[in-house]
Amino acid sequence: YALLLAEPRFRAFALFGACMLCAVYAFVTGAPYVAHELLGLSASEYGLWAGVPAAASLLGFAIAARVSRRVGAARMLTAGTGISLLGATILLASVALLPAQPLALFLPAAIVSFAQSISLPNALAGALGIRPGAAGAASGLMGFLQLALSALVAQGIAAFGGNSAWPIAIAVRGATLCAAVAYARLRTHGALPLR
């Protein structure tokens, strides 16, 4: 673990993956409360709306499996970074302008979920490729970091939830910005080609 954490490229891949997953988990943490308490959705209505980001995630993973080798990890991470920032920005605007509309909450979440799904497998592959002899340790450490960061953010959303969707939107936007910083670090350290 010490060898992996000493490697700037591993840290950047791990931070990217942790932040991308954290963006999705931030939404999943607060969405049931917002849907039920603020939007007045029943449990079955929430279940239907929650299927929108889940379907987007499945679509993203299917696309990643089919095109990642052909287009390359750099393009997949570039696309994931840009799309997640777009989705998080739309979520912030939606919370401000359309706070009582389910589509305003779940459509941006679907965009972020799709972005996470096309980029996270490529971030994991990049992290595992840095020290192939320590791939198991890299996978475990990356998974731990993803879940630990997501758990911390989930606690923050619960603590600051109140009667608003703002904590979710801010957490999702913050996580996507963090992922963008990690993406920039990957470029800086030469882990991704510049073209």
CA atoms within 13 A on the CB side of 155: 5
Q: Which residues contact 53 (CB under 8 A, 6 or more apart)?
A: 24, 27, 106, 109, 110, 112, 113
Tens digits of residue pLDDT in 121-141: 999 999 998 888 899 999 999
Q: Is the pLDDT of residue 193 over 70?
A: no
Among the residue ranges 6-20, 26-40, 89-103, 152-166, the one predicted with the least confidence is: 152-166
Determine the pLDDT at residue 191: 67
Q: Are 83 and 114 in contact (CB under 8 A)?
A: yes
Enter the tokens of residue 70: 């052909």
The C-alpha atoms of residue 188 and residue 182 are separated, in whole angstroms, by 10
In angstroms, the CA 193 to CA 6 distance is 22
Q: pLDDT tens for residues 73-91? A: 899 999 999 999 999 999 9
Mean pLDDT of 155-183: 90
Compute the average pLDDT of residues 54-79: 94
**How big is the CA angle at 183 (ends 178 and 187), to the nearest 5 degrees?**
145
Average of per-residue pLDDT across 8-12? 92
**Confidence tier at 195 by pLDDT (50, 70, 90):** very low
DSSP codes of every residue in the chain: -HHHHT-HHHHHHHHHHHHHHHHHHHHHHHHHHIIIIIS---HHHHHHHHHHHHHHHHHHHHHHHHHHHHH-HHHHHHHHHHHHHHHHHHHHHHHHH-TT-HHHHHHHHHHHHHHHHHHHHHHHHHHHHHSGGGHHHHHHHHHHHHHHHHHHHHHHHHHH-TT-SHHHHHHHHHHHHHHHHHHHHHHHTTSS---
Q: Residue 95: pLDDT above 50?
A: yes
Mean of pLDDT over the chain: 92
Is pTM beyond 0.85? Reply is yes
Task: Please give the backbone phi and psi of residue 170, each rounded to the nearest 5 degrees, phi first.
Answer: -65, -40
